[in-house]
A and B are shown apart, each in its own frame.
Chain A
Amino acid sequence: MARQVIHHEYDAVIVGAGGAGLMAALEASKRCRVAVVSKLYPTRSHTGTAQGGIGAALGNLEPDSWEWHMFDTVKGGDYLPDQDAVEVMCREAIDVVYSLEHMGLPFNRTPEGKIDQRRFGGHTMELGKAPVRRACYAADRTGHMILQTLYQQCIKQGVAFFDEFHLTDVLVSGGRCAGVVALCLATGELHCFRAKAVLLATGGFGRMFKVTSNAHTLTGDGCSIVFRRGVPLEDMEFFQFHPTGIYKLGILVTEGARGEGGVLLNGKGERFMERYAPTMKDLAPRDMISRAIYREVQEGRGVDGKDYVHLDLTKLDPDVVERKLPDITDFVRTYLGVDPVKELVPVQPTAHYAMGGIPTNTNAQVVADAKNSVLTGLYAAGECACVSVHGGNRLGTNSLVDIVVFGRRGGRHIAESVGKMELPPLPSDALSRSHEEIGRLTSNLGGESAAAIRTELQQVMMDRVSVYREETGLKEALATISTLRSRYRKVEVEDRSLSYNTELQEALELGYLLDLAWATTVGALARTESRGAHSREDFPKRDDANWLKHSLAFATDGNIKLDYKPVSITRFQPKERIY
């Protein structure tokens, strides 16, 4: 059967329907014709799995200010975040949280009826003096409530959705973006969306690692596709490992569990974080705690000599655990058969969040070189983007802040811009890359299996490019990735049917992961310092003289070329990072 092609025209197309995409859609669709293209039903998006809270200096329980939030974010990111962007985010966080509440988000409440707030890693009062209650939350399903609330509002506003459409190309022509191509999963048709503006909100790519909190569908589709189209990827060497993934499964146990009073214990039952972060202890930033767990395990203090430690929630009021942390309690009971009210929870670091991604400015416009030149018509927001507000390490709660603040800014900028713009012409070969790629995968007889290649990729990334890195291991990883990329060209998709060809979809996704793993490893090998989540055993110190800069990875003629650009430093000069 031939693959049909269907054409559409919109003012703006938003790809991805998590928090960033839906927020952008809500804003943009107030003033222009918008289509949201998503490979999942919107409510299946990964924003829904965010647990602990969204940070905003409301000061509902104790004094707080956006400047303190900004300081914490900059320090948490090991002075790599762009401070102009962080300022925008922390200022607007307050307004955007109230806006979510007005949309109906069911936040937990204080006795006075205000939004309740709790402590979270790295969030402090008075520039580091003590933990502060800044995370606004809805039990331990804050992301679920944000996703549901934004989707509800999109329905109210009549936003047009193309659900279960898998992105296959971003069209760039004459130096500007002209639209996207997507595969309709239900029918196998290719849909070409011609548009004045495209906003990518395609999420992260944690599935390049073996142990991850990320959904199976988090394969970095948008990042990889624009990388192939010549857009650089920024700060790819910074990938966050969350310290408390459920042992072996990687399922997240929120930092909110420690915000409510949970502590980490090594195999000897010691509260080891006191040694690594005397002030913040178990509420130190994630990169530090993940490293501390690795050290404890390396030095023989893992539980039973194995590669995990314990999260202790048994000292908490059981009512707090059941009512404020119901979902993680359910996960631990379901997947481990452990009751966290009475027993210790085995945890290990899990690949969680890409700080790097598609470079953008604070209006979510993609900037395609070291001079921050705007690529007209192309936007990115959320985890797929790098503004950069997270720098070397993201603080807990700031992913939700990022998606709603910059999703909204992107949507607004689109709404203001498209009125003055003409629909750009489509390139004459608009469909050719999508046809070629799908055609190759579904006609190959090379006999390679995408599943096997993916397993090998995830293993080498976990072994060589995770919490600690060093030159030999990174070079080994690069060699393996190179071999896997050659084998990928021989991947054979056995299912030749058009409808719901999920085997084809997984093969396309593997191609994206291979690109991104490659860029991550190249960036990690080049950066000869330790900063935030990027820890080189052979270069254990931060090196501001040489490395206080963002990396940009460009795909050029089968190779990756690195360039660098400066960090915006406005209020806070880099200092040693102690918690």
Chain B
Amino acid sequence: MQIRIKIKRYNPEREPKEQWREYAVEADPMDRVLDALHAVKWQRDGSLAFRRSCAHGICGSDAMMINGRNRLACKVLIKDLKQPITIEPMRGFPVLKDLIVDMTRFFEKYRQVKPYLINDTPEPKTERLQSPEDRERYDDTTKCILCGACTTACPSFWANKEYVGPAAIVQAHRFLFDSRDHGAAERKPVLDDTMGVWRCRTIFSCTDACPRGIQVTKAIGEVKKLLATGGPPPATAVPKPS
């Protein structure tokens, strides 16, 4: 069938202002929005610029605003959208060309929370033990693909770009609730700050935007509670291996 798709175009090398352009392309109802973007690029206008790679919701390249909500273009099907489908870049980061935004600040914030396991105890010969219950505590936040959909859907972030943002807090959560990690004190200055978790106003836009189904607002709430109570819950004792 033929579908209509409206894309906010921007190429500063050609035209200083952004412009909406509408395209009609052939698509199947079961096609992804990404397929429709490819149809535009490959049949109508090769200069259309967007990021994409895996095309099934794992690499996190193609987060964009689709019919007003942050989505991965490869995880939304045409049949589920009203037409004309409107597509624009994620809000809150500088637009570089068409749907491509500058992610530099996003990854800076990610780095601020020290997104790596901190544990200076000597490494054992085999694995560090961790009970399935302790592993479960941070399971949800290990799913994050750093697409940026949550942070750029957050009104608190739009209002103040210094806010560390939901994605970085999700990453912090992944380590703070890992029984092997000893880095809570090192991460505290960034998180326990007016530009840290306390900037979150529990609006739930992040949870709605997450293409991985992470309970982002809940994770932020758990980090708030951890900071307020002074530390993560103690690890469950693991039985000694026989």
Chain A residues with CB under 8 Å of chain B are 1, 40-41, 43-46, 48-49, 58, 98, 101-104, 106-115, 138-139, 141, 144-145, 148, 152-153, 155-156, 186, 215-217, 249, 251, 327, 330-331, 334-335, 337, 449, 451, 493-495, 497-503
Contact = CB atoms under 8 A, between A and B. Distances in A.
B109 to A, nearest CB: 13
A106 B178 contact: yes
Contact of A114 (B100, B175, B241): B241
Given A495-B46, A499-B97, A500-B100, A48 B241 contact: no
Contacts of B55: 215-216, 251
Contacts of A155: 111, 115-116
B20 interface: no
A127 B238 CA distance: 34
A502 B51 CA distance: 9
Contact of B115 (A48, A152, A451, A499): A152
Contacts of B24: none
B13 A152 contact: no
A156 B119 CA distance: 12
A46 B58 CA distance: 9
Interface stretch (B124-132, B193-201, B222-230): B124-132
Interface in B140-199: 142-143, 145-146, 175, 178, 180-181
A499 B13 contact: yes
B77 interface: yes
Given A103-B117, A113-B238, A48 B145 contact: yes
B11 interface: yes
Contacts of A43: 59-60, 145-146
A104 B41 contact: no
A217 B61 CA distance: 11
A311 to B, nearest CB: 17
Contacts of A113: 129-132, 238-239, 241
Please tell me the size bucket of the interface on B. Answer: 35 or more
Nearest to B129: A113
Contact of B47 (A1, A145, A495): A495
The 10 A-B residue pairs whose C-beta atoms are closest, nearest first, are A104-B117, A113-B129, A113-B238, A495-B47, A451-B42, A152-B116, A503-B46, A44-B59, A497-B13, A156-B116
Nearest to A164: B51
A112 B57 contact: no
Given A48-B59, A104-B116, A106-B178, A500 B132 contact: no
Given A107-B127, A155-B111, A251 B56 contact: yes
Contacts of A330: 57, 213
Interface in B54-103: 54-61, 75, 77, 96-98, 100, 103
B135 interface: yes
A187 B126 CA distance: 46
Q: Is the interface of B mostly helix, strand, loop or mixed?
A: loop
Contacts of A141: 58, 142-143
B19 interface: no
B58 A144 contact: yes
Contact of A112 (B111, B139, B241): B241
Contacts of B46: 451, 493-495, 503
A523 B142 CA distance: 42
Contacts of A502: 41, 49-50
A40 B116 contact: no
B203 interface: no
Given A40-B59, A48-B58, A109-B130, A153 B241 contact: no
Contacts of B117: 103-104, 152
A5 B143 CA distance: 39
B127 A500 contact: no
A216 B53 contact: yes
A183 to B, nearest CB: 14
B47 A334 contact: no
Given A41-B103, A153-B116, A215-B53, A497 B30 contact: no
Contact of B53 (A44, A249, A499): A44
Given A497-B11, A499-B13, A112 B50 contact: no
A514 B147 CA distance: 31
Contacts of B17: none
Nearest to B47: A495
B41 to A, nearest CB: 7
Nearest to A41: B103
Contacts of A44: 51, 53-54, 59-61
A52 to B, nearest CB: 14
B58 A106 contact: no
Given A104-B181, A215-B59, A500 B130 contact: no
Contacts of B181: 104
A22 to B, nearest CB: 13
Contact of B13 (A48, A216, A498): A498
11 contacts: A40-B53, A46-B53, A46-B59, A58-B126, A141-B142, A156-B114, A331-B56, A334-B57, A334-B75, A335-B56, A500-B49
A44 B61 CA distance: 6
Contacts of A498: 13
A451 B42 CA distance: 6
Given A48-B59, A144-B58, A112 B115 contact: no
B61 to A, nearest CB: 5
B57 A331 contact: yes
Contacts of A337: 30
B6 interface: no
Given A216-B55, A327-B58, A500-B96, A109 B116 contact: no
A49 B116 contact: no
Given A111-B132, A113-B239, 13 more contacts: A1-B13, A40-B61, A41-B146, A49-B56, A104-B180, A104-B181, A106-B135, A107-B127, A113-B238, A335-B32, A451-B41, A500-B96, A503-B47
Contacts of A499: 11-13, 96-97
A468 B241 CA distance: 49
Given A40-B59, A44-B53, A114-B129, A106 B138 contact: yes
Given A44-B53, A107-B127, A216-B52, A503 B132 contact: no
B65 to A, nearest CB: 18
B137 to A, nearest CB: 10
Nearest to B175: A104
A45 B145 CA distance: 11
Interface string B6-32: 000001111000000000000000101
A187 to B, nearest CB: 10
* Max chain B C-beta neighbours (<10 A), residue from A106, A107, A110, A115: A106
